[in-house]
Amino acid sequence: MKFVSFVVCALVSVFGASMSYAQSVWVAGSMPRIGPSDAPGSANFNGISRMATEKQSEPREMSFEEFAELKKAAGAKASELEGSVVDVTDERATAEFVGGVLSRHGRVDALVNTVGGYAGGIKLWELETKVFDAMLSLNLRSGYALARAVLPAMLKQRHGAIVNVAAKAALDHGAGASAYAASKAAAVAMMDSLAAEVKGTGVRVNSILPSIIDTAVNRKAMPNADFTAWPKPEQIAQVILFLCSENAAVIHGAAVPVYGN
C-alpha cells in the first residue's frame, strides 16, 4: 500500500519582522480541506488533510489543484510557495525530498505535519489488519519519517520547531476507533520522547490535539451536530502558527488540546 502526500515549503517570514532572515516553513498536508469524516463504519484514508490514498494518481491531481488555490490566495506572496508530492511514509523518498529542498534553500525553520487518516465505527475483532497498518502508516510513520529527515538540519542550525497534528482521540479512546486512537496516542508519545531528546538544542517539538474539525466534509457526515462547538481550520492554523513562532519559545514537549467550545 502506497501513500502520497503534498508538502508545501513556504519561504516567508512568518515569525515576525524582527527576524533577520527568511523562514523556511514546511507543511506536510494538502489544502485547504482539513478533517476526517467520522461517519460510523467509515475507513477514510484521505485523512486529516485529504492527502493520502491507495492510488497515487488521485492525490496528485487533487493536491496540485488545491495548491493552485493556495497560491492564488497568497496573492503577491505566491512565488514564495513551493509544492511537491512525496510519500512521507517512505523514509528514503522523504529524505531525498528534504535533501533537495535543503540544497536549494539551505535551512528548515519549521515542520508542520498534518498527515493522517481515520478509520472508525469498527470493532477491534472486525478490523482488517490492512486498516490497522494504514492507521499506523498515516498517523505514526509519517511523523517519524518527516522528523528524522529534518532533524539533522535543525540540530546543525540549533533552531527549529516541529508541530505534529495528532487528535483528541490520542487521549479520549472511544469505542470503535481502536486503530485510530492507538496510532494517534503513539504519535503523541513519540513526539514527547523526541522533545526530551532535543531539549537544550534550540529545536522545539510539540503536538496539537484537535477534536472534530468544522469542515464541509464533517458537516455532511454529521448534519445534526452542533457545528459551533467544533474548532475551525483557521483557528487550528493560528495555534500551529503560534507554536512555530518565537512567541512560543518556552513551549516544548506539549500536547495542546484544540477541542473547540
How high is the pLDDT of residue 5?
A: 52
The percent of residues above 70 in pLDDT, for the chain, comes to: 79
Measured between alpha carbons, how far is 114 from 164 in angstroms, rounded to an integer? Answer: 7
Q: What is the pLDDT of residues 88-134, one digit of tens each?
A: 889 999 999 999 989 988 889 999 999 988 888 999 999 999 999 99
Q: From the CB of residue 261, how many other CB atoms can be counted at a distance below 10 Å?
A: 7
166 neighbors 143 (Cβ within 8 angstroms): no
> For the whole prediction, is pTM greater than 0.75?
yes
Average pLDDT over the chain, rounded to whole? 81
Q: Are 2 and 233 in contact, with CB atoms under 8 Å apart?
A: no
Residues classed as catalytic: 180
User: CA–CA separation, 73 vs 218, rounded Å?
Assistant: 23
How many CA atoms lie within 13 Å of 160's alpha carbon, on the beta-carbon side? Answer: 27
Domains and CATH numbers, the chain: 5-258 (3.40.50.720)
pLDDT score of 48 more than 70: no
Q: What proportion of the chain, given as a percentage, has pLDDT over 90?
A: 57
Count, residues in the chain:
261
